[in-house]
Structure 1
Amino acid sequence: MPKWIGKVLGVGTVTVLLLGGTGYWYVFIAGVPQLDPPKVVTDVNLNLELKTYKSTAMNSERTYGLILPPGYAKNPKQRYPVIFLLQGGHGDARAYQDKAAVTSVLHDLYKSKRLPPSIVITPDGND
């Protein structure tokens, strides 16, 4: 790569790699540490349940994921915040669990008190 490209960018050498057929971009910047993602905790006592409903607008059965907060079974009449996690396109109801371990993330947020117990919905984004 010509040295002038690094000077134009102002940060050094930038390498962009496109993995064939996947559509994911990875950017590596020379001199910047690449950190591994945190370890995923799998035994978090939170479950993603898949549910279905009849959509009149789509004229079909639709699927969504449901994650209930800890203690929900003991307090089903308690009011909880509801969070809808939208994929941004073409992800199914399991996408946040399969790609981002959402139950592990929620566990950490609840444990650190950065998020109150919440009902989490993950709609199927495939149309």
Structure 2
Amino acid sequence: MNKKKLFIIGVLGLSLLTFSSFKVKEHVDSVSKSVKYQNGLIVYATYIGMKDDGYAFEKKAKNGAIVSFTFHHIEPAALKKYDLKSDALKGSLFKITFNKDDNFTEDTQDDKHTITDLEKS
């Protein structure tokens, strides 16, 4: 009789763990999808110049620290507005609209943060 009760309790416990793990995985997947792709983000930053790997900008954070941004990609329409290869724009403040794709892999080293629009402030 005790073996039968233990067996039933064991089966119920295992079933409960199995079904609860499916729900947790679904929740984790939905959260990670919402973080990977973000479109239309805006930052105000000062143009520093071209680097080997992209367009460099800086801004001062609320705590006073300097935060650097390097964008490796820029859409052609945004690039037509300003000649970022020119030294004349260094030190200029820009409103940068960009898309963020955190699908970063060690193999590609490509975070795909793409400038979609630039406006001089």
Assess same fold via TM > 0.5: no
TM-score by length of 1: 0.27
| Structure with bigger gyration radius | 2
Higher helix share: 2
Higher strand share: 2
